[in-house]
A = this chain, B = another copy of it.
Amino acid sequence: MNRVREYRKKQKLSQFSLAEKVGVARQTINLIENDKYNPSLNLCISIAKVLGTDLNTLFWEVEDNES
């Protein structure tokens, strides 16, 4: 699970307005938030910049090594 929705809401953006700022279709944002597919790196970077964050924060799953 990525954290796009969480950071989008922090910025008070709708899927539609985020899509506009990023320059993609609204459906693309929706699919990414719901982990329905595999976005391109450039798209991930654009989203991260618009949301004022970075790739690791949005897309890097920290595996917990606690037993």
Interface set of A (CB-CB < 8 Å, partner B): 38-42, 44-45, 48, 54-56, 59-60
Contacts and interface: CB of A to CB of B under 8 A. Distances in A.
A59 B45 contact: yes
A42 B43 CA distance: 13
Given A38-B40, A40-B39, A54 B45 contact: no
Contacts of A54: 56, 60
Contacts of A40: 38-41
A56 B44 CA distance: 11
A44 B55 CA distance: 11
A38 B40 CA distance: 6
A55 B39 CA distance: 14
